[in-house]
Amino acid sequence: MVIPQNKKVYFASDIHMGLFPPEKSEERSKHFVQWLTEIQPTAAALFLVGDVFDFWYEYKKVVPRGFVRFLGKICEFVDNGIPVHFFAGNHDIWVADYLPKEIGIILHREPYCTTINGKNFYIAHGDGLGPGDYSYKILRKIFTNPILQFMFSRIHPNLAFTFGHWWSKQSRYSKGIYEEFLGVEKEYLILYAKEILEKQPINYFVFGHRHIPMDIELSPTSRHINLGEWISAYTYAEFDGNDLQIKSYKKEFDYSRIIKIRS
């Protein structure tokens, strides 16, 4: 992919639309749509790197209520020829064929490699990658089991979504508890990126999931970027064709919160 002059590629993750409490989620969703409106004129492509929704489950003929402004805005992107890549995260792992067919997003369930302006990108939400986190990896296998998904789909949507929203309400993020940086030698995704880097040349690893904005130099030609989140920091990444930078939609954002490490 080659970016046209004066165009950029944008990356965002972990918006968690629908996260408890609902009034804060609605406000955050409106801000996210405002951001999408502002970047639309300069966007060559948009990558939504997982956990866009805090809970999403599709039945054959039923989809979640709400998110109308967001879905309408994504339709505008696609209708105007701006490709939108959507990565299924651990909170919206049950995205099926509705969004690709109805809106035209490009759905990814696995890590995705692409070249933009000669730079190699490795993009994934990040859940289940790298060493450790075995309890979640077991849970992911349960969530993605076709038989269990079939059984869950037999539950009436009212009951199923009540359970899903209850599960969301138990999230540490709904209670205002955030992740802490574990260090370069302990962060699973940094270790994972280093393993991939031994096998193929990657200029930018772009992940979500950890809710911590990071810009970590892995080598003189490779960086690990974590996009942060939209619960409080409203961070995203912007690639202008030459460099990838983490920014925030909040004017008062303290950029010292970004974990930056150079070797």
For the residues of 170-215, what is the DSSP string, one character each?
A: TSTTTTT-------TTT-HHHHHHHHHHTTS--SEEEE-SS-SEEE
Question: Per-residue pLDDT for 162 more than 80?
Answer: no
Name the residue ranges covered by the structural domains of the chain. 8-261
pLDDT of residue 65: 81
Q: What is the DSSP letter of 3?
A: P
Average pLDDT over residues 96-109: 93
Q: What is the pLDDT of residues 75-84, one digit of tens each?
A: 999 999 999 9
pLDDT of residue 136: 64
For the domain made up of 8-261, give the CATH fold. Answer: Purple Acid Phosphatase; chain A, domain 2 (3.60.21)
What ranges make up the beta strands (E) of the chain?
Answer: 8-12, 43-48, 84-87, 106-108, 112-116, 119-124, 204-207, 213-219, 222-227, 235-239, 244-248, 259-261
pLDDT of residue 139: 66
User: 222: which strand partners?
Assistant: 219
Strands 222-227 and 204-207: parallel
Collapse the DSSP code of 44 into the 3-class scheme (helix H, G, I; strand E, B; otherwise coil) and give the result.
strand
Q: At what angle do helices 68-79 and 22-39 cross, to 10 degrees?
A: 20
What is d(CA 1, CA 13) in angstroms, rounded to the nearest whole number? 21
Question: Per-residue pLDDT for 171 more than 70?
Answer: no
Q: What is the 3-state secondary structure (H, E, C) of 14-29?
A: CCCECCCCHHHHHHHH
Q: Look at 114 and 262; give whichever has higher pLDDT.
A: 114
Only one residue has tokens 């994972």, namely 192
Q: How confident is the model at residue 135 (pLDDT cuts 50, 70, 90)?
A: low
Angle (CA) 177-229-40 rounded to 5° is 155
